[in-house]
Amino acid sequence: MKNIQLLKSVLSKHSGECEHSIVANDTTSYELFFVHGKLETVRKAKHSSAQISVFVKHDGKLGSGSFVADESATEQELESKIAEALGNAKMIFDEPYELPCDDNQSGGVIPSNLGGRDEKQVAADIAKAVLSACTQKDCGINALEVFVTTRVNTVLNSKGVDKSQTKHTVSVEVIPTCNAESESVELFETYEFGNLDEQAIIREIAARVEDVSMRAKAVKPQEKIDCPVILNPYDIREMFEELVSDAQYSSVYLHTNLHSVGDKWQSEPAHDKLTITMRGIVDGSPASALFDKDGTSLCDKTIVKDGELVANFGASRFAQYLGKEATGALGCIDVEVGNTSISELQSTPHLECVYLSGLQVDLYNDYIGGEIRLAYYFDGEKRIPVTGIAMSGKLSEVLNNVTLSKEKVVSGSYSGPEKIKLGKMNIF
């Protein structure tokens, strides 16, 4: 951000009355939008802004006030915003905590093979890879969006923290479509990568095109299905994101956590036991980061061991309130793989979900479920594409009946078993 020096200069005038932090983000994005394989829109976006927080100790408490400054902010505007934030801070009576100090970790570039590559060519190459992957008769890619993004995140504070991290990512939204005789059907697929592997994209899209051709043939089962359910990486991620949110220090401090350290997520595991580690960096994950918005360097933490919650995690403020070690706001969920191969998971009757309208995971209501738009039902002999059904179960019972594949995948913030089989699900 160009005017970060101005920000530092204006804030330094208030060093006697407050501590401060600056979280600046500079984002550049190059984007292509295709319809039926034709280029519809080309976009280039550059955006910079900074969130400034001031912290005032008063009456034995701590108050904070925040505002956002953009590139156009003048010294006078910044002075005015700081004055308002200081006024706001003096009305807040939170328990005191300290800003993180400089830990001599300066940041850097999050490992990625995207760095230094021409964004226009990267976007064009991805588009070419996706569109070339669709070779099936009657199938096509109705819509494709490609985003090539570079984000530079800088954190400074009045305790000496001054670090930056650069992250390169690619996001893709793809709509594979099959125009069958009876009807036209589609799937909705989104991907975000920290590394670019064009061949992997081609393989993935080809597999989804195969799936969409099966959706055209999918039927509503005539009889009730009663078997375990296999989830794909996207829905596995949804499930674990909801589960781990309960283990954050902030949830504990606000008494909104359902489970405490020592509680068992799996009270009577019939198959695999869950072990989950929150990580800062996972190779290829777009959720990877070196430090969080406080500037705390991220420190990996195993939070669930053999089905038992063994630790919480989270940012500096709530860690201090609880007297715990700050891990930083860890964004990557790493689930230990199991011992069963995918082919073994698939060898007995099961329902393998390909496309859900959205997996609903409700920790408080002990619920997991969703509407199934495409799944493969394996009855022990045949693999039948099915649609028009839904599933639900008691989350606590389902967690006692998970089987984890030994094959591993990275999908967004999740890394872990590529497939998970869930027992005790009701299909209707």
- Contacts of other proteins in 76-105 (CB under 8 A): 81, 84-85, 87-88, 91-95
- What are the C-alpha distances in Å from 72 to residues 29, 44, 77, 135, 164? 20, 20, 9, 49, 22
DSSP 20: E
Instruction: Report yes or no: 213 and 139 within 8 Å, Cβ to Cβ.
Output: yes
Among positions 104-163, residues that touch other proteins (CB under 8 A) are: 120-121, 123-124, 127-128, 142-143
CB of 428 to other proteins, least distance (A): 4
Exactly one of 25, 152, 349, 367 binds other proteins (CB under 8 A); that residue is: 367
- What are the C-alpha distances in Å from 376 to residues 353, 372, 379? 7, 10, 10
Cα distance between residue 19 and residue 374, in whole Å:
54
Tell me how far apart the terminal alpha carbons of the chain are, to the nearest angstrom: 54
The H or E element spanning position 129 is: helix 119-132
CB of 343 to other proteins, least distance (A): 30
Among positions 283-312, residues that touch other proteins (CB under 8 A) are: none
At 192, list the tokens.
């975000």
Q: Which of 428, 424, 358 is nearest to 394 (CA)?
A: 424
CB of 103 to other proteins, least distance (A): 25
Query: To the nearest 10°, the Cα dihedral for 384, 386, 389, 392?
Result: 50
Exactly one of 13, 43, 57, 383 binds other proteins (CB under 8 A); that residue is: 43
Contacts of 345 (CB under 8 A, 6+ apart): 230, 403, 405, 419, 421
Exactly one of 6, 33, 269, 407 binds other proteins (CB under 8 A); that residue is: 33
Regarding 14 and contact with other proteins (CB under 8 A), the answer is no
Exactly one of 392, 397, 408, 409 binds other proteins (CB under 8 A); that residue is: 392
CB of 300 to other proteins, least distance (A): 27
Exactly one of 83, 101, 219, 390 binds other proteins (CB under 8 A); that residue is: 390
Regarding 385 and contact with other proteins (CB under 8 A), the answer is no
Binding map of other proteins across residues 165-204, x = CB under 8 A, - = no contact: --------x-x-x-----xxxx-x-x--------------
Among positions 395-424, residues that touch other proteins (CB under 8 A) are: none
- What are the C-alpha distances in Å from 189 to residues 42, 90, 355? 21, 48, 9
Exactly one of 9, 42, 75, 98 binds other proteins (CB under 8 A); that residue is: 42
Among positions 240-259, residues that touch other proteins (CB under 8 A) are: 253-256, 258
Regarding 7 and contact with other proteins (CB under 8 A), the answer is no
Regarding 57 and contact with other proteins (CB under 8 A), the answer is no
